[in-house]
Structure 1
Amino acid sequence: MPNPAFASQPLAQAIRHCLGLSLSGALVAMPLAASAQEGAASPDETGTMVITATALKVEVPALETPRAVSEVSREDLNERAVNSYDEVFRYRSGVISAPYGDDNSADWFFLRGFSGEDSTYMDGLRLFREGGYFWWVTEPFGLERVDLLKGPASILYGEAPPGGVVNAISKRPTEERQGLVEIEAGNKDHRQLGVDSAGPVAEHENISYRMVGLFREEDGELEGTGNQRVYLAPSLAVDFSEDTSLTLLASYTKDHGTPSKGFRPVKGSLLDTAFGRIDPETNLGEPDYERLEREQFTLGYEFEHDINSTWQFEQNLRYSRMDLFLRSLSPYTSLETDSRTVGRFLTYREGDYDAYTVDNRLVGKWFTSKAENTLLLGIDYQRFDINYRVGDGVFTPIDVFDPQYGNLSPGALRYRVEDKKEQVGVYLQDQLRLGDRWVLLGGVRHDSVDVESYSEDPTAVPYDESESQVSFSGGVMYLGDYGLSPYLSYSESFSPQVGRGPDNEAYVPSEGEQWEAGIKYTPDWLDGYMTAAVFDLKETNTLYSNVGEFIQRQGGERHSRGFELEGVGYITDQLQLTAAYTYLDTTIEDPDRGEFRAGLIPYHQASLWLDYSFEGGVLNSVDVGAGVRYVGESVNADPNSNEEVSSYTTYDAMASYEFTPSWIAQINIKNLTDEDYISGCNSWCYYGESRSVIGSLKYRW
């Protein structure tokens, strides 16, 4: 049975009203704070705390933010040999990684029970995944770290799903000269060469650069699939003065391969047939016919200027472009009466998109002997234009136990589609720190969104709608003794829904709201942190499918209630521990079926990673690590069934040896026991990743 909600709707409305009043009071108090600034005490030193701008768009210690935030550093990515973006949060709470198994065409997360498909950002600006299969991918080798802000975040980021925001931070130029050359090889024909060089430009101390490059080639989990990737990311930083700086950021990614999409009928994967179960490596597509060709390009900058000792102006801007050619096959029927054959469906996309994003921020800070006030005023703009051809259609069936390839029927109607989306957001956020104890946070935002959609498909109805939305957020935190800091927060989100229901009425935006209570713990005996959070997260106006209808209706509700524990730190100078636990109860309710448990979402997840660095003796400079991940049972959310998907446990391990300060050899094994498991089912089922062994040799300077 679902747990009772933590807060009623009238209470939420009251809090929203109070937030508006508190923000007004903060604005009135600003002149007083400014007049008292001279001679004020400086902010507390943060020591080894993690500083992040993802949660509040201003740099603050993550452990002094009344929201749940997780971070994965470059050291973590290196230690676990993360080469796929949806592996990043495997050892953090609140995240389901790779729920659809191995998919070399996209990265997939579920965040607090909600799809993270539109939750991906880089350097604070949105990465678009729209237009049907035009999915932006992120290369982990080009990242300095990855931040996760859990729960609704529309107050700062505008349109966003309720589960959270995943913000990748690009590698930047460095003042010190440094470099890396890395070679990797492993099973599944994995080969990789990475280069990373940074430092000052010639003799100019105020100009620095970074150049990151990568080539990777590897096979997919399915027979006859694989991908080649070329990645380049140049950047340049210029300090014009002590008050003004500019960082130019660019990237280029090219993928060439055969898509590996592991759709499996429930009968034949989760359930037995008279012929057994489908082999996890069996390709139900057409390896010689399917293709994935994708080129991504970004160009942008980050600008900062200190106007005076109180005000700072910041601007982030990026232009993004993607060119895509995708020809992919997936089963679209259950096994036929012969228990061997499935129908297949062709997905065909060919086109490109252009996206522009800019975020302007004015940050003001005032200090007194007993208070610190940080005001954020912002306006951001997003524009997305896509033009592509669609050629979807029914394809020839295939025998899942003895597939015979080459029987092609590629004839499908191809028609052109054009979509446009434009969003303007204005936001205000105020953070007030009283003494060394209280942190108060409040924010409000207004968004205007215009969406247009046109298709040559004669059955499609042109779409041209405008929506506006007001979002609120707020929180309070007490910085207690012994490193214990409890907090309470409220936040909202909205997601525009393109299209019309069966009544031909345009969809309205889906809306999310969350209550979260937690505690953050930074004991003096641990070089690290521990956090605990309990939350109640709800999305209304959710789209749902009615039995026998191909057009979705609106009016459903998705509801997640959960509890998270997370800890990262050094137990000793040589032993580091990373541990996480998540309890998540996610349900869906629609007028046709009532309330039912959401597919793919387990009640329980737990993970533990230990890393030990030897010092002295025969094992000097050896580093070993081992991890275990448990994912509890979930259910198949097919309306006609409710089968249980078994839990699974996988093990990972690594070992490295530092020959000299410059040379390091490392080996990583993922899914050490080669566990066969199904990662989840949602009308289709997906096998998890098989064992992966990767060896690397690194030279650093």
Structure 2
Amino acid sequence: MKPPKLLPIALSLCTFALGSLHAQQSPEQDDEEIVRLSPFSVSERADIGRYQAAQVSSGSRIRMDLMDSTQSISVVTSEFMQDIGTARLTDATKYVAGLSALGALPLSMDIMNVRGFSDYDLTLDGFTMFSLVNQDPIIVERIEFVKGPNAILAAQGLPGGVVNNISKKPLFTNKGYLSYQVGRYDANRAEFDANYVVNDKLALRVVGAFTEADHYRQGLFHQNTTAMPMFTYRLSPTTEFTLQFQIQKSDTLSDIAAPLSVYAVGRNNIHLPQNLPRDFQIAGRNSPQHQKSHNTRFFLTSQITDKLSMRVGGNWSQSDVRSNGPTPSAPYLGQTGIVVDPIRLNDITGEWYWDGSFNDNPTYKLSGLKEWPVRMRGNFQNDFVYEHTAANWKSQTVAGYAFNYISQHFRQRNYADDGIYYDFENNYTPPPYAFDPDIDWHFNSSDRHRGNQVYIYEVINLFDDHLVLSGSLSQNRYVSNIYDNLTGVRSDNRAEATLPAAGFVYKMTPGVSVFYGYSKQEVLVPGDPGQAIPSHTRPGRQHEGGLRLRLFDGRLYATATYFDILQENLWRNNPENHRTPIPFPLLPAVNTNVTSKGVEFELAWAPNENFSLIGSYTNFKFRDDDNMRGPNVPEETAAMWASYTFTQGALSGLRVGLGASYVGERASDAEGRWTSPPAGYDPVRIQPVFWMPSYIVAEASASYRFNKNWQVQLSIHNLLDKDYIAGSALRRVFVSTPINPKLTLRYEF
């Protein structure tokens, strides 16, 4: 693909100049009359409750009323994140329908399941970037969850949806706070957020946090420093420019799951080995992960005329990561070097079973790897919106383009297999690791990925806003170049996709509506010559419909939604290659699909200024063509949180909150391979080795405001001290953190 031409950028700059000129040509107008909310900004209503939002900007890059969207969009407000004591972004996920934390790698990448599809990338202000460590919540103002494919926000995103974190921006009001937190686990944290208005044109803001926390499992820690200075400058009453510079430095212990009982299979013995301490940790402080990153973002918005507005946004992010990952082997019998694993695979049925043997003193060999990835990402977006209002109808036409660039260098070295058998139950000490002396690099590649997008989006409100029609068309081109520095082999991949979306909203009354939406996206996937898999794309589409309620002047908002997602063209090994005898030559790989179908319910209710409640329920099936469930995906979840603020009497200034979340049964890592049965039997899919039980976990908080400046908050996570399995990785599991109180003192100015 040729480099982006300069003409679109020049047009944007000309348009910006015209916008400034237009503002300057009306000196007789008062600034308060001219300055009004940009169609790219979201306004908040303080009168509808702490946990409710009426508008979003993620669906089509412009402000939209939630009642007008043909796609499910949920919002987590800053007040809610504060009230539940959010330590990481996934803490808020469990209260949103269709969302759940992956459970594996709780200290890495904020991994979330979005309608079953696992999201490993961080999306911030519509820009996708990589972060090995969890994003610090200090920079996030609110989170918008766009569910299902969205070719405007993320043409190459997941078909399940996008978790778009909206960053804090400078405000034209002087305010800020300082806070310090102590607690049992994952605490010892300081935050600051200071906003200063220099004059009526310039506002400065700096947010930051420092965390030095120990976690429940032995030796597990993380140190994180995050800072984001920024400013907003009003070039004219209708034109604003915002610049952010975010830096982050993080050190944490490799987040390695503990081995499961050697007798765990199906739904039996799903716990750690009997003599292994519950807080066992394989890795030691000599196996840390390091990340240094910096992100620069800018946003320019301008109202060119009373109907035409423009937005330009850009992002450049760079991260340098050093990660270690020791892993245990299959269980051995003592120091004999003989693998004795009581769990065996039935090659005819694909099911796992206990063979009746015992290994009450298992030992493990440790292996692992060390990675040195360097990733750089650049994004540029330019959007125009034209708004027209008539007597009984109105319209918005949005058009834009975007360029995306990724450059990454990825190197990997394996640890040496020292032949030592570690007994985890008896004075285990995490060992120092030596690299494999025979091989310098086991993996070393340089990748370049580029893409561009042009789109148009139209929404029309007809019949005095009773009917809303919308549709979009996105044209996308992708180029991927992968160079293997070890073999000298280069892989060049190209793809092109035209992605439509359309839908309608019918409002039976202003507060009761039904909606339907159809949307698509498509992901470029490089080929794998070793598996006879060509370069290809994975298209995803969604049909979605439901009912929305907004009653009592917006204080009650509820949705009921049915969705049907299909992702196609997922390649895998040909099962015929697992027959006995093995065919020669091997047959090429084959295609498979994944579907996600189900229902979601969400509720936000604030009957008065004191009481606020949110709740959600999800029931769906995430399956492939063989009806296999996805690993670590709960197909049923529910959650509810309620808070009450005392405004009169002796308890005035006190806010209490209580919540609980339910996570259904989940499959462990399904290997996705095929059995190699005896002659005369068909190969079948290998099933998950075990199933993680469902669980309910409760949490609570209480905050007290002494005066306008001082506030103290006590948050208690896992209130009932529930022991549960949070996630799995192969035959290893992550256990829950016990009851965890945290106390935060906050000074506001």
> TM-score, normalization: structure 2?
0.81
Q: What corresponds to 1:450 in structure 2?
A: 479
* Deviation, structure 1 residue 505: 4.0
Aligned counterpart, 1:619: 651
The answer to whether the 8 Å contact 1:179/1:197 transfers is yes
| CA pair 347-166 structure 1, distance change in 2 beyond 3 A | same
Q: Give 1:685 shift.
A: 4.2
Aligned counterpart in structure 1 of residue 394 of structure 2, from 336, 348, 372: 372
What amino acid sits opposite 2:422 in the alignment?
I
| Structure 2: segments with no counterpart, 5+ residues | 1-36, 333-338, 341-358, 579-585, 672-685
Asked if 1 retains the 8 angstrom alpha-carbon contact of 2:466 and 2:506, the reply is: yes
Mapped pair 1:541 → 2:569 = yes
| 3-state secondary structure, aligned to 1:406 | coil
- Measure, in 2, the Cα distance between the counterparts of 1:543 and 1:124: 29
Deviation per CA, 1:287-308, whole angstroms, max 9, x where unpaired?
Answer: 1320211011011210012222
SS at match of 2:138: helix
Partner residue of 2:364?
Answer: 342
Look up the SS of the partner of 2:422 in the other structure. Answer: strand
Q: Distance in 1 between matches of 2:66 and 2:123?
A: 18
After superposition, residues 406-485 of structure 1 pair within 5 angstroms as 406=431, 408-411=433-436, 413-415=439-441, 416-434=444-462, 435-458=464-487, 461-481=489-509, 483-485=511-513
Q: Is the 8 A contact 2:132 2:321 kept in 1?
A: no
SS at match of 1:577: strand
Residue 399 (str. 1) matches residue 401 (str. 2): no
Q: 1:109 aligned to 2:112?
A: yes
Please identify runs of 4+ aligned residues in structure 1 that moved more than 4 A.
45-49, 268-271, 393-397, 545-554
CA distance in 1: counterparts of 2:393 and 2:652, whole angstroms: 49
- Tell which structure's C-alpha radius of gyration is larger: 2
Q: Find the aligned partners of 1:117 and 1:142 in 2 and give their Cα distance.
A: 19
1:538 maps to amino acid: L
Match of 1:630 in 2: 662
Deviation at 1:71, TM superposition (A): 0.6
After superposition, what is the alpha-carbon deviation per residue over 1:653-694, rounded to whole angstroms, capped at 9, x for unaligned? Answer: 101111111100001011112211112446334324313221
Q: Deviations over 1:559-583 (max 9, x none)?
A: 1111000111213331111111000
- The amino acid that maps onto 1:617 is G
Q: Is the 8 A contact 1:423 1:450 kept in 2?
A: yes
1:155-174 CA deviation, whole Å, 9 max, x = no partner?
Answer: 44221111111111111111
Verify: 1:276 aligned to 2:274, yes or no.
Answer: yes
Cross-structure match for 1:588: 624
Counterpart in 2 of 1:52? 56
**Post-superposition offset of 1:552:** 11
Which of residues 489, 503, 519 is equivalent to 1:491?
519
Aligned-residue offset at 1:259:
2.0
| Residue 570 of structure 2 is aligned to residue 568 of structure 1 | no
Aligned residue identity for 1:75: E
Whole-Å separation in 2 of the counterparts to 1:613 and 1:309: 42
Give the root-mean-square deviation of aligned CA atoms.
2.6
Partner of 2:683: none
Residues 333 and 315 of structure 1: is their aligned pair in 2 closer, same or farther, counting only changes over 3 Å? farther
Amino acid at match of 2:226: Y
Amino acid across the alignment from 1:522: R
Match of 1:75 among 72, 79, 84: 79
SS of 1:141's equivalent?
Answer: helix
Give the whole-Å Cα distance in 2 for the aligned partners of 1:46 and 1:485.
22
Cα distance in structure 2, aligned partners of 1:552 and 1:114: 26
Q: Which residue of 2 aligns with 1:360?
A: 382
Match of 2:174 among 177, 181, 203: 177
Question: 3-state SS of the aligned residue for 1:77?
Answer: helix
Q: Which moved more, 1:207-216 or 1:536-545?
A: 536-545
**Whose strand fraction is larger, Structure 1's or Structure 2's?**
1
Write the mapping of 1:234-383 to structure 2, written as runs, cut at 5 A.
Answer: 234-262=229-257, 264-265=259-260, 267=262, 271-272=268-269, 276=274, 278-285=276-283, 287-333=284-330, 336-337=339-340, 338=359, 340-383=362-405
Q: Quick check: 270-279 or 558-567, which moved more?
A: 270-279
How far 1:376 moved relative to its partner? 1.0
Q: Deviations over 1:616-642 (max 9, x none)?
A: 232221111111111111223342445
Give 1:523's match in structure 2, choosing from 545, 551, 556: 551
Q: Which deviates the most, 275-284 or 179-188?
A: 275-284
* Residue equivalent to 1:122: 124
Of residues 64-73 and 215-224 in structure 1, the stretch that sits farther from structure 2 once superposed is 215-224
What letter is aligned with 1:699?
Y
* Distance of aligned partners of 1:275 and 1:429 in 2 relative to their CA distance in 1, 3 Å threshold: closer
Q: Deviations 1:538-577 (Å, cap 9, x if unpaired)?
A: 1111244668999995512111111000111213331111
Write the distance in 1 (CA, Å) between the matches of 2:405 and 2:642: 44
Letter in 1 for 2:478: V
* DSSP-derived class of the 1:596 partner: coil
Against the structure 1 CA distance between its residues 554 and 622, is the aligned structure 2 distance closer, same or farther, given a 3 Å change threshold?
Answer: farther
Q: Is the 8 A contact 1:84 1:107 kept in 2?
A: yes
CA contact (8 A) 1:297 1:321 kept: yes
Matched residue, 2:29: none
Q: 1:423 to 1:332 in 2, by over 3 A?
A: farther
Identity of aligned pairs, percent? Answer: 21
Aligned partners of 2:508 and 2:417: how far apart in 1? 63
Give the 3 Å change call, closer, same or farther, for CA 544–689 of structure 1 in structure 2. farther
Question: Does the 8 Å CA contact 1:599/1:680 hold for their aligned counterparts?
Answer: no
Which amino acid in structure 1 is aligned with residue 120 of structure 2? E
- SS for the counterpart of 1:78 is helix
5+ unaligned residues in a row in structure 1: which ranges?
A: 1-41
The AA in structure 2 aligned to 1:125 is F
Q: Across the two proteins, how many residue pairs are aligned to each other?
A: 644
User: Is contact 2:604–2:615 with CA below 8 Å preserved after alignment?
Assistant: yes
Q: Is the 8 A contact 2:69 2:505 kept in 1?
A: yes
The amino acid across from 1:254 in the alignment is K
1:427 to 1:649, Cα distance in 2 relative to 1, 3 A = same
| Structure 1 contact 148–164 (Cα < 8 Å) conserved | yes
Q: Tell me how far apart the structure 2 counterparts of residues 407 and 349 of structure 1 sit (CA, whole Å).
A: 16
TM-fit CA distance, 1:334: 5.6
Aligned ranges 1:97-176 → 2 under 5 Å: 97-100=101-104, 103-118=106-121, 120-127=122-129, 129=130, 135=132, 137-176=134-173
* Partners of 2:238 and 2:573 in 1: CA distance: 55
Structure 1 residues 256, 687: closer, same or farther in 2, change over 3 A?
closer
Deviations 1:80-114, CA, capped at 9 Å, x for gaps = 111112222121110111421x5323211000011
Q: Give the structure 1 partner of residue 717 of structure 2.
A: 670
In terms of mean alpha carbon deviation, does 540-549 or 275-284 score higher? 540-549
- Partner deviation per Cα, 1:397-434 (whole Å, 9 max, x = no partner): 53333334326343263433211110111111111111
Structure 1 residues 552 and 73: alpha-carbon distance in aligned structure 2, compared to 1, 3 A threshold: farther
Decide whether the 8 Å contact of 1:613 with 1:623 is kept in 2: yes
Q: What secondary structure does 2:188 align onto?
A: strand
Query: CA 1:369 to 1:327, structure 2 compared with 1: closer, same or farther past 3 Å?
Result: same
Distance (whole Å) between structure 1 residues aligned to residue 396 and residue 331 of structure 2: 57
Give the AA of the match of 1:106.
M
The letter for the 2-side match of 1:169 is: I
Match of 2:10 in 1: none
Separation in 2, partners of 1:474, 1:68: 13
Going from structure 1 to structure 2, the CA distance change for 1:282 and 1:366 (only over 3 Å counts) comes to same
CA 1:311/1:198 → structure 2, altered by over 3 Å: closer, same or farther?
same
CA distance 1:247–1:554, change in 2 (3 Å): farther
2:430 partner SS? coil
**Are the aligned partners of 2:449 and 2:480 in contact in 1 as well (CA < 8 Å)?**
yes
